[in-house]
C-alpha cells in the first residue's frame, strides 16, 4: 500500500488550490487549512506505519520502469520528516490565528503555507535529482510570497537579498545536475548511486559533490554561505519566521544528507572531510552570532545556524551511530526551533520590543511563559531527558568512534554557548526589575498564541522522554542512510 506516499504532498497542494478562492473569508481560510493539515497528518502517520511494517515504499509515476520513470520514494527518513513537517505546520497555523493579523490572512497567507508544505514534503520524498530542484522551486516561490506578505519596509528590503541568493543557488543547482547527468547519464537518485559505484567516483564526481555542497549549503545556511539568513529571517512576522526556521534550512540539510550518504560515498577522505570542516566552522560562526546579539530574534536565528552545523557534523562521520544521532537531532531541531520562535513571538507581543535590554521582570506577570521558555531552552541545549540530549549524545559518540576527537569537543563546547545564549534571554527578559511592557495586550489574543506554543513544547518533552519508544524508527532511518543498497533495491525492484 504505497498509496499513502503521495498523499502528504497531494493533499496540501489540493487544499492550497481551494484556499486561493474566498480570500476575504477568514473563517473559511482557517477551517480549510486546518482540515487539510489534519487529513495530511493522518495520511503521514499511515505512511510511517507502512514503512515500519513493510520497508520503503515507492511509486514510479507514469508506469515507466525504474530508473526511467520519476520515482517517489518513502523510506523512514522521508516519512518521519514529512510527518514532523505537517505537525509543526499545524501548530504554527494555529498560533498564527492570534498573531498574524487579518490583513495578511486575507492575502494568500494560507495558500502560501500549504504550497511551502507541498514543496518541502515533495523534496523529502522525491527519488529524482531534477525533481528535487523542482520541489525546491515550489517551496521557494511560496516563501517569496510569505517573506514580503504585509509589505513592511524591512520585509521588502530583505526579500530582495533572499530572492537573489536563492536565484543564484537555483541556477547553480541546474548546472550541478547537468554536470552529474553528463557523467552518469541518469537523474534517478538510486540509479546515480549504482552508476557512481560502477565507475568508482573519479575526480570529476568529487568536483560535482563539492558543487552540490555549495548549492545545498546556500539553502541550509552553512559557513560561509549563511550571510543572508539572519537579516532575511528577522524581517517577516513571527509565524512565518517559525515556519522558515523550522523547515526551510532543514530541506537543505536533508539534501546534503541524502546525496552525501546515497551516492557521494567513494571519496570520503575529501568530500566528508570538507563537510566536517565546514560543519565545525558553521557551529563556531553560529555561536559567535548568538552571543553577539541583544535581539531575541537574532539569538534564536543564529541558533539555527549552530544546529545546521551539529547535524552535518553527524552526517560527516559516516557511521551508523552518528547518522542516527544526526537524524534524531534534525527532528528535535525542527520541533524546538518552531516552539522557541513562537515563545519569543509572545515575549515580543507582551513587551512590544525584541531588544533584550528593554525587557525585564516578565516572570512576575507571565510565570508560565517563563518556565515554558526555560524548558524549551534546556531542550535546545540538550539537557537530559529533554529532546536535544539523545541526538547530540549519539553525534558526539559517533565523532569519537570516527576518531575526530578535537572537532567533537567543539560540538560539545557549543552546547555551553547555546546554554549561555538561551539563559541570557531568560535572565534579561524574565528576571530583574520590570522592563518595558506593551499597553495593549489582550488576554484572549495572548491565550491564542500561548496554548499551541505550550502544546508544542510539551510535544518536544515527549520526544525526549519517549526516545526509547522512538528508537526503532530512528535506527531504521540510520540503517538506510548507512547502507545505500536498501534505497537502491527498493527503487529498482519497486519500479519493475
Give the residue among 29, 41, 218, 20 at the shortest CA–CA distance from 121.
41
User: With b meaning 16 or more CB within 10 Å and e meaning fewer, what string describes 235-261?
Assistant: bbbbbbbbbbbbbbbbbbbbbbbbbbb
Q: What is the pLDDT of residues 433-465, one digit of tens each?
A: 777 777 777 888 888 889 999 999 999 999 988
The rounded distance, in Å, linking the Cα atoms of 85 and 337 is 12
DSSP 74: E
List, for residues 377-434, the tens digit of each pLDDT value.
999 998 888 888 888 999 999 999 988 888 889 989 999 999 999 998 888 888 877 7
pTM comes to 0.93
Sequence spans of domains, the chain: 267-465
Residues of the chain with pLDDT under 70: 1-3, 201, 494-496
Rounded to an integer, what distance in angstroms lies between the CA atom of residue 287 and that of residue 280?
11
Give the per-residue pLDDT at 243.
93
pLDDT of residue 494: 63
pLDDT for 31 = 92
Phi/psi for 473 (5° steps) reads -70, -45
Burial class from Cβ neighbours inside 10 Å (0-12, 13-18, 19+) for residue 198 reads exposed
DSSP lists the bridge partners of residue 57 as 74
Closest CA to 142 of 106, 115, 169: 115
The pLDDT value recorded for residue 490 is 84
Strand partners, 126: 72
pLDDT of residue 496: 43
Q: Which of 355, 374, 221, 237 is nearest to 293 (CA)?
A: 355
Amino acid at each position: 500500500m504505497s498509496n499513502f506516499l503521495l498523499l502528504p504532498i497531494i493533499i496540501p497542494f489540493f487544499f492550497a488550490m481551494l484556499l486561493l478562492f474566498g480570500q476575504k473569508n477568514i473563517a473559511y481560510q482557517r477551517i480549510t487549512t486546518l482540515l487539510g493539515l489534519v487529513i495530511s497528518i493522518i495520511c503521514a502517520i499511515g505512511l510511517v506505519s507502512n514503512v515500519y511494517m513493510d520497508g520503503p515504499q515507492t511509486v514510479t509515476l507514469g508506469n515507466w520502469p525504474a530508473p526511467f520513470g520519476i520515482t517517489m520514494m518513502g523510506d523512514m527518513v522521508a516519512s518521519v520528516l514529512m510527518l514532523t513537517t505537517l505537525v509543526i505546520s499545524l501548530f504554527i497555523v494555529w498560533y498564527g490565528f492570534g498573531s498574524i493579523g487579518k490583513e495578511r490572512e486575507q492575502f494568500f497567507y494560507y495558500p502560501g503555507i500549504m504550497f511551502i508544505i507541498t514543496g518541502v514534503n515533495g523534496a523529502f520524498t522525491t527519488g529524482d535529482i531534477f525533481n528535487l530542484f523542482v520541489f525546491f522551486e515550489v517551496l521557494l516561490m511560496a516563501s517569496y510570497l510569505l517573506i514580503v506578505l504585509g509589505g513592511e519596509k524591512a520585509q521588502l528590503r530583505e526579500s530582495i537579498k533572499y530572492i537573489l541568493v536563492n536565484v543564484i543557488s537555483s541556477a547553480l543547482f541546474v548546472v550541478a545536475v547537468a554536470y552529474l547527468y553528463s557523467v552518469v547519464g541518469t537523474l534517478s537518485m538510486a540509479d546515480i548511486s549504482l552508476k557512481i559505484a560502477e565507475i568508482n567516483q573519479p575526480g570529476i564526481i568529487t568536483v560535482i559533490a563539492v558543487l552540490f555542497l555549495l548549492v545545498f549549503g546556500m539553502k541550509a545556511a552553512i559557513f560561509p554561505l549563511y550571510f543572508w539568513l539572519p537579516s532575511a529571517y528577522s524581517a517577516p512576522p513571527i509565524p512565518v519566521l517559525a515556519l522558515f526556521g523550522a523547515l526551510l534550512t532543514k530541506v537543505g540539510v536533508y539534501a546534503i544528507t541524502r546525496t552525501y550518504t546515497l551516492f557521494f560515498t567513494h571519496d570520503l577522505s575529501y568530500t566528508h572531510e570538507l563537510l566536517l570542516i565546514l560543519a565545525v566552522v558553521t557551529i563556531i560562526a553560529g555561536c559567535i552570532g548568538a552571543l553577539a546579539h541583544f535581539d531575541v530574534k537574532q539569538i534564536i536565528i543564529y541558533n539555527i545556524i549552530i544546529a545546521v552545523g551539529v547535524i552535518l557534523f553527524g552526517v560527516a562521520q559516516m557511521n551508523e551511530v552518528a547518522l542516527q544521532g544526526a537524524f534524531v537531532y534534525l527532528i528535535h531541531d525542527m520541533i524546538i526551533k518552531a516552539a522557541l520562535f513562537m515563545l519569543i513571538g509572545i515575549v515580543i507581543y507582551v513587551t512590544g520590543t525584541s531588544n533584550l535590554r528593554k525587557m525585564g521582570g516578565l516572570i512576575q506577570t507571565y510565570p508560565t511563559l517563563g518556565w515554558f521558555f526555560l524548558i524549551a531552552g534546556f531542550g535546545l541545549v540538550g539537557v537530559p531527558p529533554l529532546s536535544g540530549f539523545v541526538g547530540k549524545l549519539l553525534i558526539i559518540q559517533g565523532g569519537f568512534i570516527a576518531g575526530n576527537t578535537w572537532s567533537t569537543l567543539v560540538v560539545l563546547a557549543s552546547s555551553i554557548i547555546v546554554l549561555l545564549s538561551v539563559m541570557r534571554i531568560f535572565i534579561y527578559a524574565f528576571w530583574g526589575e520590570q522592563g518595558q511592557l506593551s499597553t495593549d495586550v489582550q488576554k484572549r489574543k495572548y491565550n491564542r498564541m500561548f496554548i499551541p506554543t505550550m502544546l508544542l513544547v510539551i510535544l518536544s518533552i515527549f520526544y525526549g522522554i519517549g526516545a526509547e519508544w522512538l528508537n526503532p524508527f530512528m535506527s531504521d532511518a540510520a540503517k538506510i542512510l548507512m547502507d545505500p543498497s536498501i534505497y537502491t533495491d527498493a527503487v529498482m525492484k519497486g519500479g519493475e
